[in-house]
Structure 1
């Protein structure tokens, strides 16, 4: 397999950093996009080139796609409930990735690999999933070769549970019995890095452990050495909060709407990952403790 020229977007995120490391190890040429010099400094040791650009602003992308074979986009709005960014998921995910897609088409790029999300029938009523579905449809109709990676919850989206457990109480929506098989960011990155040249149009990806939402919360308590105190919050509370925040904080509104749905709905994907949750939580807890 010959080396390819890759434009990697989202290289400073948890998954993007791992994709960068893997592509570098395979001797691919890697051009990354960074919104600031501070972010650029995080990737310059592994990236072949770093371009200062904000993908949500098409005018900044410029010639970033020149002589590129494939785009791998790990761009996506932060899913942490502690986020400060107020823009909706669509305003970031669809706008940024559409700008990349349009620039790729103009430059003659042949392939687009997109980090999407696991979903199922009926999931499109949430704004979070609609953003991913809309972007997938745009890529499908672009004429480019493409692959989507659709992970269940990535471990990094669960780190807020460690903070909850440290405070001695945690919450889950509904009865906590909905099942999922979350996946390690490194496992997701390995899938993405293997799709540089070719691959299936869609890769549904979950981890090796299927757990209930309450199981996951209890792992967090166990890791920090606290007695589990789990409160069950009626889903309508999240939905009401989402409606109240719609104008004030669109991102938080989107996230609360999605949490109310996804944490009360089974979300189990094909097992693609091999790394388990507890060691990841232990590492996060150790770092937090200093």
Structure 2
């Protein structure tokens, strides 16, 4: 039986990776900072996975001493490690770059057979601190001599839930005319793609998206429909936001990184090869139903 380490297993994609690898017969070890999160479902309907895990290692990739030996006996490492928002003094450089580099070094010491890293779509073309930190790690991974797979999803369904939150409040903010296209992917579909890719690919960079292509205005329309709200859109001119970006950098480099990443994502096409069978409207309905049942 092959052994896989899922790093970042308590996150949106990490939970689905645990599920998918277990279903394929792998022995699953996870690396998390808080193992309690594994026992409950996540905020974006991702499943509790504690019962599927063979071994839990509690550690922080930004502290190399806390993850010593984490890859011992492991065949495949799959890393979803990355900041979704700035917390405290940690930066994207500390987590997305150095954190993954520490994990790679442990994988090399343990003679891990393959290292899978979850990157972002067109990450090598973006000019923002988040993508740049990820891309620096990708460069080191490719130069490490390790057999690698780099997966570049267009965006997660969990990210799209922001449209739903805005619609429920009565107004969705769009950057520009909202006509850019993307095909975001559900965590379960992306995890299945990753597990299949481990078997069939070596030394590869793979772009992937969900089965349906949407314009941003279409995602907003779905969110309003599911929320039973009248559609109200606020279009912010791209030029205006670009003009404000330098001020974010002056007052808060942390917020600058997030705003710049958001701007890049909302003003570029993000359509990758179609994969999976989950659709966004059903996902939005499931979130609304879940929230309703909790009341």
Question: TM-score normalised to the size of structure 2?
Answer: 0.89
After the TM superposition, which of the residue ranges 109-118 and 43-52 deviates more from structure 2?
A: 43-52
Aligned residue number for residue 72 of structure 2: 66
Match for residue 54 of structure 1?
Answer: 60
Q: State the secondary structure of the residue aligned to 1:194.
A: helix
Which of 119, 124, 136 matches 2:122?
A: 119
Instruction: Compute the displacement of 1:256 (Å).
Output: 0.8
1:215 corresponds to 2:218: yes
Find the aligned partners of 2:171 and 2:221 in 1 and give their Cα distance: 10
Work out the CA distance in 2 between the residues paired with 1:103 and 1:248.
Answer: 37
CA 246–221 in structure 1, closer or farther in 2 if over 3 Å, else same = same
- What is the rounded CA distance, in whole Å, between the counterparts of 2:238 and 2:164 in structure 1? 21
Name the CA shift for 1:111/1:219 in 2 (closer, same or farther; >3 Å). Answer: same
Measured in 2, the distance between the counterparts of 1:87 and 1:176 equals 33
Displacement of 1:180 in angstroms is 1.0
1:246 is matched with which residue: 242, 245, 249? Answer: 249
Structure 1 runs (4+) deviating above 6 angstroms are: none
> For 1:284, what is the secondary structure of its paired residue?
helix
* Aligned-partner Cα distance in 1 for 2:95–2:237: 29
Equivalent in 271, 274, 283 of residue 271 of structure 1? 274
Q: CA deviation at 1:247?
A: 6.0
Q: In structure 1, how many angstroms separate the alpha carbons of the residues matched to 2:91 and 2:247? A: 14
Moved more, 149-158 or 70-79: 70-79
Name the structure 2 match of 1:184: 186
Partner of 1:156: 158
RMSD (Å), alpha carbons: 2.1
TM-score (normalised: structure 1): 0.90
| Matched positions, count | 284
Cα deviation, residue 261, structure 1: 2.0
Contact 2:126 2:264 in 1 (8 A): no
**How many Å apart are 1:236 and its aligned residue?**
3.9
Q: 1:184 to 1:109 in 2, by over 3 A?
A: same
1:19 corresponds, among 11, 14, 17, to 17
Unaligned runs of 5+ in 1: none
